[in-house]
A and B are shown apart, each in its own frame.
Chain A
Amino acid sequence: MSASAAVHLQGVGRRFGRRWILSSLDLTVQPGETLAIFGNNGTGKTTLLQILATLLSPTRGDITIFGHSLAREKNSIRRLTGYIGHAKQLYNHFTVDEYLELVFRLRHKTTEKMRTRVDQSLDTMGLTAHRQAIIETLSEGMKKRLTFCRLLLCDPRLILLDEPHPTLDAQGKMIFDRLMREWKQNGKTIFIASHEHDQTLAHADRVVIINEGKFTHEVRDRNKYVE
């Protein structure tokens, strides 16, 4: 294992009941690298991302994230990780502003620079006009953008995106592309699990294909994957 690796998986498996969703995964991802994970439904993409986000623990194997062991230092990993999954984790009765303030307070344990950071995140995601709207009244696409605002406020080193595209409209996808470029420039390590290959490949440094809980193919040059 490289000591400087962002993410290192060794023999990682996860079982639900008698079924192994992930059988034995080995993977090393360097800081600043963007990894695309492709695979059919039910092949284990979401399970893998949930394990890396510390929402599930692996049944077997070892995981290290920025030198922290997932088994022993979960809290340290949570401070370094940002996750957008299928569940939006939003409080529907709150306004957009109230929700983002809650996120900032809980993540940073302070209110210093809160207003500026919330404003910046809303501006980046094109939600400034909706800041006083109750979340319940937003469209699905707007809610998805709000989850990106949460990610921006958390400013994690490792970003885990599970199907980030589906509910985004054309403008949302443009903002997403811009964000991805900024994150890559800032040296963020990114995992994207998606079925939208073209949109994902535009940002990926490496592609892995997962099938029946195993990495079956790995392509280091995204152009080769396209070919």
Chain B
Amino acid sequence: MLSDLITLIQKDFRLIIRSSVHLFSVVLFGVLLLLLFSFSMGGDIDLLRKSAAGLFWITVFFSSTFFLDQSLQYEQKDGRIEGLLLLGVDPKIYYVSKTFSNFLLLILVEFFLLFPLIVLFDVPFSWSMLTVLIMGSFGISALGTAYAGVTTSLVSGNVLLPLLLYPMLIPLLLAGVQATQLCITGDLFNERFMWYSLLAIFDVVFFVAAFLCAPFLFDKSS
């Protein structure tokens, strides 16, 4: 099980490296979005700091849809998922591997987005902010991978994915924005732990639910 998981994650990263143009375009899109937001607000440092969390999460949100859809679409083509299943890969392990690959990729994209955020929005970096990013990214990957599994095999699936995914991610985005904002502006009343809890519950509930449903998402014969 563990060896399959590692092999599948290695496979995904080899694919990402080989088609690095795609990763570059996602990062470029995110950086451009942050740049445009900061220019449109002018030089008001207070305003920039107050809006930084919301704008950052919107950027992550849109950027993630690009590769969530792409990663599953590539596997759907030419029967690649079926090929893996016939080799004896458990659909649940496949789901976990895809979720982790997408999660690591999202973290990588966020790493590149943090620089413009710190420079353009005058945001101080903190470890608590990193924790929020990790928890939020895992939730997006867990739910996004499951939905991408449903939509990529459908006609116009790439249009359907955001329509289905965005409403479901609202609680995660709210918690992510609030927790990040508190990390930036300071947390006098220890409020951020409430938002941490919401993020953790979201992650666990949707990861476990999607894990259990994985055979129906990825194995057409189930």
Chain A interface (Cβ within 8 Å of chain B)? 53-57, 74-75, 78-79, 81-83, 85, 87-94, 98, 102-103, 105-107, 109-110, 150, 154
Contact = CB atoms under 8 A, between A and B. Distances in A.
B161 to A, nearest CB: 23
A98 B14 contact: yes
Contacts of A103: 87
Contacts, number: 71
Interface string B1-14: 00110011001001
A54 B86 CA distance: 8
Contacts of B7: 102, 105-106
A62 B89 CA distance: 24
Interface of chain B, main secondary structure = helix
7 contacts: A54-B221, A55-B85, A55-B221, A57-B222, A88-B79, A98-B14, A106-B87
Contacts of B88: 75, 78-79, 106-107
Given A81-B86, A89-B78, A109 B3 contact: yes
Contacts of B87: 78, 103, 106-107, 154
Interface residues of B, number: 24
B64 to A, nearest CB: 22
Given A54-B86, A109-B3, A89 B221 contact: no
A91 B80 contact: yes
Given A93-B19, A107-B88, A87 B11 contact: no
A205 to B, nearest CB: 25
Nearest to B222: A57
B14 A94 contact: yes
A-B pairs, 6 with minimum CB distance:
A87-B79, A89-B83, A93-B18, A106-B87, A57-B221, A89-B79
Contact of B11 (A74, A79, A91): A91
A110 B140 CA distance: 33
B108 interface: no
A27 B7 CA distance: 38
A72 to B, nearest CB: 13
A94 B19 CA distance: 11
A220 to B, nearest CB: 30
A98 B17 CA distance: 14
B1 to A, nearest CB: 9
